[in-house]
Chains A and B, each alone.
Chain A
């Protein structure tokens, strides 16, 4: 917390921190290492989550996002849907076997919101990966979410287990393995859990 933040706090001035989307693209190269070194396959789905606000700027941004996505999905054949979750946050969820198209669509949404001055409303972007099933077991392995926190400009792993538990050992292992490849959130207190990710 800098001096400016302290002054703002004392004066009771509230602003939302700006979105830092410059490191968002780090996932595109990191995904290759995740797959080749750690056996984590991109699941073909990703999403971006933001907080709707009660203003016309937001309504026009949402309309523009819808139109842009409809246009770009024809080009890249990405499936998308917009949906609200139980906390009234809005998700844009994408399905595409081509990882680069997922990255492009996520970027499209974050850019559109920032252009409308709504970058502060961005919560996170999430890429889903699936691990190989353990030896002798069928089906999928674990679901690994890589969450991009727009406020920090960093990624962190989130591996939900049943009963609101998370697989911390695996998460820490991923941090150790990927630290040099991508910007990972150093402060584990900011590894916010997001239960019930809708994809």
Chain B
């Protein structure tokens, strides 16, 4: 029996389109480099080793930089219990479990594949959320692991990083190669193009990241069967719940008149630069899944 709520062609279509655009930009960039006779070996080596470190040590880097520590089953039985069941029902290998001691409510997943994954939560999120909401958040992070988002974002970032280093390389060392056949104008063109490439890929990567957040939300809804739990968890984490009653709508409306760009369209421009979709949009999508559940 095929269920309606398990399909989302629109989201997959957008994801394919974004990845296609990324690939197109990447290929164009490579073509441009070879056309200009730039020896890419040195740069590729540098960027390549940087990416390899990021890829193979991502889990350790993230754990180290966030101060997360791995916890055993006896240290965090409740957390392990939830994750064990979610993994059994979604047929995933069980990841390592880590806790970050901070009151900031947050959670993340890291690791280059399903067998090297770590799912971490902060003590703040455990205090703030109910068990059902925590389960939804963990299902969201497990979907990131399942969807190999770490690997996909690393590959997608490759082009961005490559372009970024090239921008710096041209900026600082470009003029020193005066003995070469290329004139200053050519260097400037290369620099402008890689700058444009970097800017475009930066925005595309952020778009891809936002779509993968939606996909992880959808996965969490399907694994837990309760989209509303994730919605309320998102509201609690983002502080929407506590913000709603304290804000005076009239004063906000009045202030809007003094802005050149009203607060509302201002936030939609910011949407382009953010790695996560807005909580309102995520909740709207979860509500749609809830309706499809029937």
Residues of chain A touching chain B, judged by Cβ–Cβ distance below 8 Å, are 1, 9-17, 51-58, 86-89, 116-117, 120-121, 123-124, 149, 151-152, 163-164, 189-190, 192-195
Contacts and interface: CB of A to CB of B under 8 A. Distances in A.
Interface residues of B, number: 50
State the main secondary structure of chain B at its contact with A: helix
Given A17-B91, A117-B3, A121-B89, A12 B216 contact: yes
Interface of B: 1-3, 6, 8, 11-12, 15-16, 73-74, 77, 81-82, 84-85, 87-91, 93-94, 114, 131-132, 135, 143, 146-149, 152, 211-212, 214-216, 218-219, 222-228, 290, 293-294
Contact of B87 (A87, A120, A192): A192
Contacts of A12: 11-12, 15, 147, 149, 211-212, 214-216, 218-219
State the main secondary structure of chain A at its contact with B: loop
Nearest to B226: A54
Given A11-B16, A163-B74, A194 B84 contact: yes
Contacts of A58: 225
28 contacts: A1-B114, A12-B11, A12-B211, A12-B216, A13-B8, A13-B12, A16-B89, A17-B90, A51-B225, A53-B226, A55-B225, A55-B293, A57-B293, A87-B85, A88-B131, A89-B85, A117-B1, A117-B3, A120-B89, A124-B88, A151-B88, A151-B90, A164-B73, A164-B77, A192-B85, A193-B73, A193-B84, A195-B81
A16 to B, nearest CB: 6
Contacts of A117: 1-3
A51 B294 contact: no
A53 B73 CA distance: 27
Nearest to A50: B89
B210 to A, nearest CB: 11
Contact of B225 (A56, A121, A124): A121
Contact of A87 (B11, B131, B227, B290): B131
A51 B177 CA distance: 65
A168 to B, nearest CB: 14
Nearest to B3: A117
B89 A195 contact: no
Nearest to B152: A10
B148 A10 contact: yes
A149 B148 CA distance: 24
B82 A87 contact: yes
A16 B87 contact: no
B77 A189 contact: no
A123 B152 CA distance: 30
Contacts of A194: 84-85
A13 B218 CA distance: 8
Contacts of A116: 1
Nearest to B208: A12
Contacts of A86: 81, 131
A13 B12 CA distance: 7
Contacts of B3: 117
Contact of B294 (A57, A120, A190): A57
A1 B225 CA distance: 24
Nearest to B229: A54
Interface centre among B6, B16, B216 (most CB of A within 10 A): B6
Nearest to A12: B215
Contacts of B73: 164, 193
Given A14-B6, A17-B91, 17 more contacts: A9-B147, A10-B147, A10-B152, A12-B149, A14-B143, A14-B222, A51-B225, A53-B224, A55-B293, A57-B293, A58-B225, A87-B131, A123-B89, A151-B90, A164-B77, A192-B87, A192-B94
Contacts of A13: 8, 12, 215
A42 B76 CA distance: 33
